[in-house]
Copies of this chain bind each other. A is one copy, B any other.
Amino acid sequence: MTNISFSMPMSEPGFQRKLGTVCIFGTGDFGRSLGLRLLQAGYGVVFGSRNPKNSSLLPKGAQVMSHEEAAQTSRIIFVAVHRENYDFLQQAGGEMLAGKVLVDVSNNLRRNQYPESNAEHLSKLVPAASVVKAFNTVSAWALQSGGLDANRQVLICGDNSEAKQMVVDIARSLGLTALDKGSLRAAGEIEDYPLQLFPLWRLPIALATGLTAFIFFYVLTLDVIYAAVIDGEDISFRIMVSLANKVFPIVSLIMLALCYLPGAMAGFLQLYNGTKYRRFPDWLDRWMLCRKQLGLIALALASLHVLYTLIIPFRYYVRYRVNIWTAAQIKQNKTGTFDTTMAWRTDSYYSVGILGFGLYVLLGITSLPSVSNTINWREFRFIQSKLGHLTLFLCTLHTFLYGWDKFLRPSAYKWYLPPGYMLSLVVPCVVLVLKFVLITPCVDRAVTRIRQGWERKPAGSLANGDPKGRRLLVL
């Protein structure tokens, strides 16, 4: 392994590596796709099959044998068989599989289909072998297509670290990324992974749905129901566009603010604790982990608000009202005086809204994985924190300019309730005030010191600290 003359053929270190043979039990979709990919990567592939003579679908270059024969060709065996058919492994287990590495690639149809994970079940059936759970997160299709467009992460767990390393090496040879998740007890979690449906999005979507429903009924009450009860007018047609265009921006602004609230709260908590090594409460942790999702939903709603606003001029209702109004003015021979304040105010309102939305979209683009991948931590923080708070400020200002002095007029408070847009201002104002306090020089200095590791209390208090370095998540 020391320095050898580089001119000697066949013996350079770093160059020579002969890939071994891999055995696959099962000739279904996944087994065949995996075999093809292994062959392409330079491995030898031997399929084990109940019926070796009737396997015409296998990739060219692979051998097919009985399970017993196949098992003898390789130390590593991929078990590409449904869990219901694991029994034959138990019967043959004693001699055939002793000392082998069995890779369980199986998936279930739904969560908690079986009391214990497939891999742990397999391990009990064949205790003489080392079972590794892997490759279940990769689809047969991803294996074939070269994995360009699909998830390329192979989650791996198992009790024998040498066996795991063999599987890691194979995954890497196939151009996949391996991630070790620990002992075989993690198999259940890995088996649940392909059955997940946007787990990080659940809380933000639930929140968005709840807020949307609440705000919808609130503005429905103040607009449609109030008009029906007090004026006896049916303006329910306003639900489709006018009300939607009130609900979406209100929920969007609240959610954008909720995206930045936990960061401010974490800052104050660190100030209060006098250390960054005290663990945040669980709810705050969970909240901070879904900020990206909160922000993206807020962006989607803001985009809808933009579209709903831009169609205003050609709505039938708007055209009708404009016509009536024009006709009335002409009849009364009024020309109307031009109100410069009004022009400044409305134009500022539009302009601030557009700039805010532009920054909003920029935040969305930088949260695309391939973009956030190319920027360093300082750049990421600059965009998501500095530009993020600027976005929140502009959108809040946009709402204030919309309201202008209406909050002073009693007629704006139907049934003594504030109009919807006022509700949307509460959380953003709280966030902006908190943030403003945090960036005043003296507070900022204290927070920065704490985030760099300084502690007010002695180090002995570390015992209840947080080993996950959450400081970095506080934008």
Q: How large is the interface on A (under 10, 10 to 19, 20 to 34, 35 or more residues)?
A: 35 or more
**Of the candidates B13, B322, B342, B375, which one forms a contact with A18 in the assembled complex, judged by CB atoms under 8 Å apart?**
B13
Cβ-based interface call for A336 (8 A): yes
Which residue in chain B gives the minimum CB-CB distance to A71?
Answer: B7
Cβ-based interface call for A6 (8 A): yes
Minimum C-beta distance from A131 to chain B (A): 15
Do A12 and B308 touch (CB < 8 A)? no
Ordered by A's residue number, 19 sampled pairs between the chains whose C-beta atoms are within 8 Å are: A1-B11, A6-B21, A13-B17, A14-B173, A40-B181, A57-B462, A139-B472, A142-B377, A146-B179, A197-B378, A197-B379, A237-B347, A308-B350, A308-B351, A313-B314, A316-B347, A327-B329, A330-B330, A369-B371
Cβ-based interface call for A164 (8 A): yes
**Of the candidates B137, B150, B382, which one forms a contact with A372 in the assembled complex, judged by CB atoms under 8 Å apart?**
B150
**Of the candidates B76, B196, B198, B323, which one forms a contact with A15 in the assembled complex, judged by CB atoms under 8 Å apart?**
B76
Residues from chain B with a CB closer than 8 A to the CB of A371 are: 368-370
Do B178 and A175 touch (CB < 8 A)? yes
**Of the candidates B344, B368, B453, which one forms a contact with A237 in the assembled complex, judged by CB atoms under 8 Å apart?**
B344
Q: Mark A428-464, 1 if CB is under 8 A from B, else 0.
A: 0000000000000000000000001100000110110
Which residue in chain B gives the minimum CB-CB distance to A182?
Answer: B40
The 7 closest A-B pairs by CB, nearest first: A370-B370, A240-B347, A29-B469, A12-B20, A141-B472, A313-B313, A237-B343
Cβ-based interface call for A300 (8 A): yes
Q: How far is B150's CA from A472's CA once the two chains are assembled, in angstroms?
A: 12
Q: Mark A141-182, 1 if CB is under 8 A from B, else 0.
A: 110101011111100000001101110111001010111111
Residues from chain B with a CB closer than 8 A to the CB of A411 are: none
Q: Which residues in window 271-298 of A have CB below 8 A to B?
A: 277
Q: Which residues in window 335-359 of A have CB below 8 A to B?
A: 335-336, 338-340, 342-344, 346-348, 350-351, 354-355, 357-358
Minimum C-beta distance from A11 to chain B (A): 7
Cβ-based interface call for A410 (8 A): no
**Of the candidates B196, B306, B324, B462, which one forms a contact with A335 in the assembled complex, judged by CB atoms under 8 Å apart?**
B324
User: Number of copies of this chain in the oligomer?
Assistant: 3
**Of the candidates B56, B300, B322, B463, which one forms a contact with A362 in the assembled complex, judged by CB atoms under 8 Å apart?**
B300
Do B149 and A40 touch (CB < 8 A)? no
Cβ-based interface call for A376 (8 A): yes
Which residue in chain B gives the minimum CB-CB distance to A18?
Answer: B13
Cβ-based interface call for A426 (8 A): no
Do B370 and A151 touch (CB < 8 A)? no
Report if A18-B315 is in contact (Cβ < 8 Å); known contacts: A197-B379, A197-B382, A370-B368: no
Q: How far is B340's CA from A455's CA once the two chains are assembled, in angstroms?
A: 67
Q: Which residues in window 45-78 of A have CB below 8 A to B?
A: 54, 56-59, 72-76
Do B315 and A347 touch (CB < 8 A)? yes
Do B358 and A166 touch (CB < 8 A)? no
Report if A7-B376 is in contact (Cβ < 8 Å); known contacts: A14-B17, A237-B343, A316-B342: no
